[in-house]
Amino acid sequence: MSTKPDLVITAAFDPVQVDELRKHFTVHTVEPSIAGSSLSARGIDELLANAEVVITELDRVDEDSLTKAPRLRAVVSCRANPVNVDIAACTARGIPVLTTPARNAEVTADLAFTLLLMTVRHTSQAERWLRAGNWSSDDVFAPYSLFRGVQLSGRTLGILGGGAVGRGVLRRARGFGMNVIVYDPFLPVDAFGGEARIAPLDEVLTSSDIITLHVPLMEETVGLLGARELSLIRPGSFLINAARAALIDEEALVNAVAERRLAGLGLDVFWQEPTPTDHPLFESDIVTMTPHIAGASDDVIREHSRIAVDGLTEWREGRNPRSVKNPEAFSA
């Protein structure tokens, strides 16, 4: 009979990292679910009864789940922000909650920059036009005039948020020869050396040719860009949001698009998802949209698996994991 502690994985997980965990745990894998339901409703009561560690992504670790897992000693949420876990309930039981910070930073930066390129070069509109059979020999040069875009080299990119994703976008922008200014009130003025300049929000808005959002969503950042801030963006500039929709006031943005105060808008996130097909932004020819796919990559699974195993290694060795959300649980 194994003396290794039981570990239950309900998240999508890299098999290589599962094998790594088996060196120290008796691992039970459960088919991942996208329902976002409570672990207590997954029909795995016997596994939960013996589990000392649970690794989850979408399943909720709530009070009912914790009641069914009396031996639980640690929870890993394969997310940067463990919104699927009742942190207070875990802390009260002395259960640390580990996270996987920046698990999708690189693929999100990839998508954000892809969306930026699609928006400034009108590639979605051009593809739809082409597929609709509009390119004819009567005017072979029509697309050249209809879909004129801007080059990135020499233009200024304003990045709102200098965290992992913002830094990834910065690296990509520099590779395209762009000048970069960053708004992040938590960073020192020399955070990026000669690669980018830190500036106040209003200056970034008024000085940038393209603005992209990468700040976390919290109480202080809801509506970060409202009617006043959007009015500061100079006409002919582009706005990209692959972070969170609530960072921008929806009504103010719809008005800015309707009045064509922007040259283009690129969105991967929306205030209601799925987005209603009658949303006014669907009607605009200056809006490029993707259906919240920034983190849609198998590489994210490999990355959050690696980070989760690293965190559990620290925990198993008696160290406080760097990725723990509730360090106070260790003294509870």
For the stretch 233-263, pLDDT in tens is 999 999 999 999 999 999 999 999 999 999 9
Q: How many CB atoms sit inside 10 A of residue 288's CB?
A: 24
CA–CA dist 133, 283 (Å, integer): 20
CA–CA dist 120, 332 (Å, integer): 52
Residue linked to tokens 């339901």: 37
Residue linked to tokens 């500036």: 199
Helix, strand or coil for residue 257? helix
What are the residue numbers of the active site? 244, 273, 292
CA–CA dist 109, 115 (Å, integer): 10
Q: Identify the bridge partners of residue 322 per DSSP, sorted by sequence position.
A: none
Specify the long-range contacts of residues 46-52, CB closer than 8 Å, at least 24 apart: 47/6, 47/8, 48/8, 48/72, 50/6, 51/6, 51/7, 51/8, 52/5, 52/6, 52/7
CA–CA dist 247, 289 (Å, integer): 17
Contact 315, 321 (CB under 8 A): yes
Topology given in CATH for the domain delimited by 105-289: Rossmann fold (3.40.50)
CA–CA dist 180, 79 (Å, integer): 29
Q: What pLDDT score was predicted for residue 332?
A: 67
* pTM metric for this prediction: 0.86
CA 300, 303, 306, 307 torsion-angle sign? negative
Q: What pLDDT score was predicted for residue 202?
A: 98
Q: What pLDDT score was predicted for residue 275?
A: 95
pLDDT tens, the chain, 332 aa long: 568 999 999 999 999 999 999 999 999 999 999 899 999 999 999 999 999 999 999 999 999 999 999 999 999 999 988 999 999 999 999 999 999 998 999 999 999 999 999 999 999 999 999 999 999 998 899 999 999 999 999 999 999 999 999 999 999 999 999 999 999 999 999 999 999 999 999 999 999 999 999 999 999 999 999 999 999 999 999 999 999 999 999 999 999 999 999 999 999 999 999 999 999 999 999 999 999 999 888 899 999 999 999 999 999 999 989 899 999 998 86
Q: What pLDDT score was predicted for residue 230?
A: 98
Q: What pLDDT score was predicted for residue 3?
A: 85
CA–CA dist 162, 169 (Å, integer): 9
Contact 94, 329 (CB under 8 A): yes
The CATH-assigned architecture of domain 6-103+298-331 is: 3-Layer(aba) Sandwich (3.40)
Q: What angle do CA 184, 190, 196 make, to 5 degrees?
A: 70
Token pair for 216: 């976390």
Token pair for 57: 């992504």
Helix, strand or coil for residue 29? strand
Locate CATH 3.40.50.720 in the chain.
6-103+298-331, 105-289
Q: What pLDDT score was predicted for residue 73?
A: 97
Token pair for 181: 């200014």
Contact 320, 330 (CB under 8 A): yes
Q: What pLDDT score was predicted for residue 168?
A: 97
Nearest Cα residue to 297 out of 157, 116, 114, 158 = 114
